[in-house]
Amino acid sequence: MIQTEKFYKFLDNSTSPFYVVKNTSEILDRAGFKCLSFEEPWNLQKAGSYYIKLYDTALFAFRLGKSLSEDMILRIAAAHTDFPSFRIKPNPEMREKGYIRLNTESYGGMVLSSWFDRPLSVSGKVSLRSQHLFKPKEVLVDIKKPLMVIPNLAIHLNRKVNYGVEINKQKDVLPIMGTADEDIHNYFKNHLARHLDVSADDILDYDLFIYNLDKACTVGASDEFICAPRLDDLSSVYALIQGIISQVNDNDIHMICLFDNEEIGNRTKQGSASLFITMLLEKIFQTLGKSRMELYEAVHRSLILSVDVAQAYHPNYGTKFDPTNTAELNKGIAFKIDTAQRYAYDTGAIAILQQLCEEYKIPYQKFVNRSDATAGGTMGPVISTQLPARTVDIGVPLLAMHSAVETMGAKDLDSLIRLMEAFFTAER
């Protein structure tokens, strides 16, 4: 299967952070990575490949070099598994005349208008009653079938619709899931129970997201673009996986960190503000017979890439962008620069990347926001305070960021995969 088809399959099947992690672990299994549990002692081998899941929505994969030289560095690349969407509240049923609507809240900064009039389904995790009080059963679910829709209001009832309309999250975007005249108590839970083949009484709680069923596709007169849901940040997740499963350098430790909860500020046990990354590195070093001080020394020599999408120049809204530093589709990887360090920045680290790109003939461009605009936050500054290594924020340029369907350059996917491969293999 060619790379684009594999990428599309990954996107189409990764409908919630739970499935991003599930699909990633399947790719890593096939590539010979060994799944570890943090709760058990490890026996790590040089030249070994390993991964560990964190609460089913974050994942860390690492490969040890064959020799692990005295002056080894950590080559770390991070991306995020989450994306803006609606999350279903507990007791979600709301009746309005004969319609059944679900009560939802929005997760992350959504372009709400993009969610109207699309078939929607549900993906996430359900927690079930078990015999063990401290160990309820947890199952993943992706209903896949079109299950609900958020209909627009007809233009005849809102003549101002094309002049900008306020959309209220509690009132205007609740999806309709059916019609019924009977009692709707537990309507959603019962549907879920039937799908999972369990008793509705056994469903204790759930972490379920609504997703749109649009499939990834190639667009443009010469196939220049990729249009798909969730390109922020699954395009980076996919490229990081391709990087870590290719060749790696003999002397170093290579790691990809796929964090959850970037879209809501990173401050969770599985987000990039978590202490887990330090705990994980300490455990790796201790298992290899190395001291904490050796870890700190290695961190000091290391490089972290925080890989997340960048705002691509939009031809219909040119005045929104910096006069001299814009990122365009198909012109290469954007190095994101912000003097307030909302993107992590270090001139030496940027210079390393430029040398790497030039050596491997990978196009890149420097992106800066307008001086009168504020950059959106990402993982780089957060990771670099947890792990004070040189860190830079980079990513593919993206149009319609946080819309239900986003657009990237087809060539940029190839550039990012090649950059990740170069990052993990290049001689220092």
Provide the minimum distance between the beta carbon of 309 and Zn ion in the complex, in angstroms, as a whole number.
5
Interacting span for Zn ion (CB under 5 A) from 165-173, 242-250, 307-315, 342-350: 307-315
Per-residue contact flags (x/-) with Zn ion for residues 341 to 360, judged by CB under 5 A: --------------------
Residue 260 near Zn ion by CB under 5 A: no
Residue closer to Zn ion, measured from CB, 232 or 412: 232
Between 93 and 308, name the residue whose CB sits nearer to Zn ion. 308
> Which residues inside 118-137 make contact with Zn ion, applying CB under 5 A?
none
- Tokens 């994101």 belong to which residue? 336
Cα distance between residue 74 and residue 290, in whole Å: 14
Contact 36, 62 (CB under 8 A): no
For Zn ion, give the closer residue by CB, 252 or 308: 308
> Which of 179-187, 232-240, 333-341, 346-354 is the region at the interface with Zn ion (rule: CB under 5 A)?
232-240
Q: Minimal distance in Å, beta carbon 393 to Zn ion?
A: 10
Q: Which stretch binds Zn ion (CB under 5 A): 18-26, 222-230, 308-316, 381-389?
A: 308-316
Q: Which stretch binds Zn ion (CB under 5 A): 184-192, 206-214, 228-236, 346-354?
A: 228-236
Contact present, 83 and 234 (Cβ < 8 Å): yes
Q: Tell me the β-bridge partners of 304.
A: 76, 391
Closest distance between Zn ion and the C-beta of residue 123, in Å? 18
Decide if residue 308 touches Zn ion (CB under 5 A). Answer: yes
Task: Give residue 322's Cα distance to chain centre.
Answer: 26
Phi-psi region of 34 (alpha: psi -120 to 50; beta: other; left: phi over 0): beta
- Kindly state whether residue 232 participates in binding Zn ion, applying the rule CB under 5 A: yes
Distance CA 342, CA 260 (A): 18
Rounded to the nearest angstrom, the gap between the alpha carbon of residue 110 and the centroid of all alpha carbons in its chain is: 15
Q: In degrees rounded to 5, what are phi and psi of residue 83?
A: -155, 155
Select from 399, 401, 219 the least CA-distant residue to 314. 399
What is the enclosing helix (H) or strand (E) of 423?
helix 410-425
State which residue, 233 or 252, has the beta carbon closest to Zn ion: 233
Are 43 and 263 contacting, i.e. CB atoms less than 8 angstroms apart?
Answer: no
Taking the complex as a whole, the smallest distance from the CB of residue 236 to Zn ion amounts, in Å, to 8
Q: How far is the CB of 300 from Zn ion (least distance, A)?
A: 28
Buried-state track 368-402, b at ≥16 Cβ within 10 A, e below 16 = bbeeeeebbbbbbbbbbebbebbbbbbbbbbbbbb
Number of residues that bind Zn ion (CB under 5 A): 3
The nearer residue to Zn ion, 142 or 232, going by C-beta atoms, is: 232
Rank residues 233 and 260 by Cβ distance to Zn ion and give the closer one.
Answer: 233
Cis peptide before 29 (omega within 30 of 0): no
Residue 233 interacts with Zn ion (CB under 5 A)?
yes
What are the two backbone dihedrals, phi and then psi, of residue 321, each rounded to the nearest 5 degrees?
-115, 160
Minimum distance, C-beta of residue 229 to Zn ion, in the bound complex (Å) = 13
Tell whether residue 82 is a contact of Zn ion (CB under 5 A). no
Distance from chain centroid for Cα 38? 22
Is 421 an interacting residue with respect to Zn ion (CB under 5 A)? Answer: no
| 82 versus 142: smaller Cβ distance to Zn ion | 82
Helices (H), 136-228: 187-196
C-beta of 21 vs 72, nearer to Zn ion: 21
Chain residues binding Zn ion by CB under 5 A are: 232-233, 308
